């Protein structure tokens, strides 16, 4: 388990989470259900009602079941919905490893050509601004760094994610660890993972906690859950059984996850939202010439540029001062406020019909610990009135569409702590964030976390659009109805990136049509 923790990381008592299939399925034709169950009965499979209803929603449920059958548990009389979903997760991981299409995700967002996307769009100036901040730490920070503060943030995390998990049928009657240990049957509970290790016999042993206590839980090596990877401080749902041997036996592991079967949301207004990140003004590697081309396009790029109503800027807008060793050798502007002055001058070139939404990142002049409040007043006063400043992360709505904007610093921890993650595939990391419904669960890693009374890094409501930056890549995809965007950088390859063989994808502008769901990437 490649997870690190600082030796003095405070241990607070914590708690649980995960949800899926929160929508009630439509009523099915009785004949179709009978045909489906008869086909499975011939294969020797019996399903509980929830599993049968879930599978019968699919276009070809029998083929789907046949694909899962090799990894379904053996020996049980009835196959449950939980076992079906666990088999889907295993099949997805196997498909990813073999570079086959995922079973549980929509295909990659089909990118249209800029010319095709520009057809029949209304000018953005036809629409009044409709931007409402829903969740932002700015002005709401209360933490002082005490042990009690850490207890509060973990309690908030557990409660928030437990509410999501309890929307699942199998967790409606979830109990605490203390209560579960008194039962003589299987029980469901939600907990925080505080330690992960592998025994000499190949079993996985977890130490988990909730508000009532802690427990050692064992995952046998012959169960599907043994293939799962765990992050310290993440909230999971567990189905457990007490074997009276000093530990609890894990029967199933579930995560909060985004409900399956969600369609991507669209709205009646037919404007575009643009996304950029990691501008790094002040660096010698800032791509000034390509930024000039971008500004020229926004002011005269035809129907596509005229239809861009919002521009979301996801942090690291300047290069900062003293962010990393010997940074001064790579700076063209060595004063932080002059960097923001330069940025304000460049942002002023964006036409007035574009509402700019700007959040900070780890290079910006705000506290490094997340969640980060927005820029100080001295910085905000440098910019025109068409710029809206928010914290990192921030949830806001655009004409009713729910947007989660996050700079993405925690990707450093996800890549180092979770097998299969890579800086070259940031969309995979974003899917893991959605699956665990948390932006940065790992305390004590590379991402400093501020212990606020509320955990602002929990993804409590599923967003319609989820945008990040940080890794200087670009990509767009749809995952379970959520439009994923990793925004591009405006900085050429740095010395650090060369050393780590990281190739940026600079000067690209992802664009999303919020009416049709179509997307494109405009390159400069």
Mapping DSSP to helix (H, G, I), strand (E, B) and coil, where does residue 164 land?
helix
User: Which pLDDT band holds residue 78 (cuts at 50, 70, 90)?
Assistant: confident
User: Which pLDDT band holds residue 25 (cuts at 50, 70, 90)?
Assistant: very low
Mapping DSSP to helix (H, G, I), strand (E, B) and coil, where does residue 522 land?
strand
d(CA 187, CA 170): 9
d(CA 429, CA 423): 9
- Cβ contact 135:129 at 8 Å: no
Exposure b/e, 358-381, CB count within 10 A at least 16 = b: bbbbbbbbbeebbbbbbbeeebee
What's 130-154 look like in SS3? CEEEEEECCCCCCCCCCHHHHHHHH
Exposure b/e, 327-339, CB count within 10 A at least 16 = b: beebbebeebeeb
> pTM to 2 decimals?
0.80
Q: First vs last Cα of the chain: how many Å apart? A: 41
Tens of pLDDT, residues 309-358? 999 999 999 999 999 888 889 999 999 999 999 999 999 999 999 999 99
Which pLDDT does position 103 carry in this prediction? 35
What's 199-239 look like in SS3? CCCCCEEEEEEECCEEEEEEECCCCHHHHCCCCCCCEEEEE
Phi, psi of 156 (to 5 degrees): -60, -45
Query: 197 pairs with which residues across the strands?
Result: 205
Which pLDDT does position 31 carry in this prediction? 56
**Average pLDDT of the residues in 2-14:** 38
Q: Looking at the predicted structure, is the pLDDT value of residue 517 above 80?
A: yes
Which pLDDT does position 92 carry in this prediction? 59
- Cβ contact 79:72 at 8 Å: yes
Helix axes 81-97, 61-68, angle to 10 degrees: 70
> Going from the N-terminus, what domains does the chain have, and what CATH number goes with each?
30-97 (1.10.8.60), 115-127+269-409+473-523 (3.60.21.60), 147-254 (2.40.50.140)
Q: Looking at the predicted structure, is the pLDDT value of residue 441 above 50?
A: yes
Which pLDDT does position 395 carry in this prediction? 98
Tens of pLDDT, residues 448-505? 999 999 999 999 999 999 999 999 999 999 999 999 999 999 999 988 778 777 889 9
Which pLDDT does position 90 carry in this prediction? 64
Tens of pLDDT, residues 256-269? 999 988 889 999 99
Phi, psi of 272 (to 5 degrees): -110, 150
- Alpha helix ranges (H) inside 202-322: 288-300, 302-306
**Average pLDDT of the residues in 34-50:** 69
Helix axes 49-56, 61-68, angle to 10 degrees: 120
């Amino acid at each position: 388990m490649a997870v690190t923790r600082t030796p003095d990381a405070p241990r607070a008592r914590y708690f649980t989470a995960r949800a899926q299939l929160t929508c009630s399925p439509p009523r099915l034709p009785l004949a179709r259900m009978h045909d489906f169950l008869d086909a499975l009965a011939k294969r020797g499979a019996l399903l509980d009602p929830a599993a049968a209803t879930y599978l019968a929603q699919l276009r070809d449920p029998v083929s789907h079941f046949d694909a899962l059958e090799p990894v379904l548990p053996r020996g049980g009389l009835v196959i449950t919905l939980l076992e079906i979903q666990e088999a889907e997760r295993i099949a997805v991981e196997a498909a990813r490893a073999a570079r086959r299409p995922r079973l549980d995700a929509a295909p990659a967002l089909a990118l249209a050509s800029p010319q095709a996307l520009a057809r029949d769009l209304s000018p953005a100036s036809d629409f009044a601004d409709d931007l409402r901040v829903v969740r932002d730490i700015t002005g709401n920070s209360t933490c002082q760094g005490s042990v009690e503060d850490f207890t509060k943030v973990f309690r908030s995390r557990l409660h928030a994610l437990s509410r999501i998990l309890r929307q699942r049928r199998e967790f409606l009657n979830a109990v605490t660890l203390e209560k579960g240990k008194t039962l003589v049957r299987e029980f469901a509970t939600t907990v925080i993972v505080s330690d992960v290790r592998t025994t000499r016999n190949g079993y996985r042993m977890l130490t988990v906690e909730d508000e009532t206590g802690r427990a050692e839980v064992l995952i046998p090596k012959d169960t599907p859950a043994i293939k799962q990877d765990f992050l310290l401080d993440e909230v999971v749902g567990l189905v457990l059984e007490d074997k009276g041997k000093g530990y609890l036996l894990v029967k199933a592991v579930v995560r909060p996850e985004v409900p399956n079967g969600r369609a991507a949301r669209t709205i009646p207004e037919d404007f575009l939202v643009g996304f950029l990140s990691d501008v790094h003004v002040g660096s010698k590697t800032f791509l000034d010439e390509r930024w000039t081309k971008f500004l020229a396009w926004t002011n005269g790029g035809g129907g596509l540029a005229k239809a861009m109503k919002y521009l979301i800027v996801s942090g690291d807008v300047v290069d900062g001062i003293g962010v990393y060793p010997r940074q001064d050798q790579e700076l063209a502007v060595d004063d932080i406020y002059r960097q923001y002055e330069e940025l304000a001058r460049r942002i002023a070139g964006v036409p007035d019909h574009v509402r700019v939404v700007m959040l900070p990142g780890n290079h910006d002049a705000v506290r490094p610990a997340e969640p980060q409040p927005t820029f100080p007043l001295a910085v905000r006063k440098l910019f025109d009135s068409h710029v809206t400043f928010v914290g990192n992360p921030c949830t806001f709505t655009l004409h009713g569409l729910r947007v989660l904007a996050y700079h993405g610093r925690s990707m450093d921890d996800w890549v180092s702590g979770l097998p299969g993650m890579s800086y070259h595939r940031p969309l995979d990391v974003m899917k893991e964030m959605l699956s665990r419904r948390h932006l940065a669960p790992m305390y004590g890693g590379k991402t400093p976390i501020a212990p606020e009374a509320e955990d602002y890094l929990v993804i409590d409501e599923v967003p319609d659009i989820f945008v990040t930056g940080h890794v200087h890549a670009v990509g767009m995809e749809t995952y379970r109805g959520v439009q994923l965007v990793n925004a591009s950088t405006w900085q050429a390859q740095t010395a650090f990136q060369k050393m780590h063989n990281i190739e940026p994808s600079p000067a690209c502008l992802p664009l999303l049509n919020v009416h049709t769901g179509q997307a494109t990437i405009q390159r400069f």
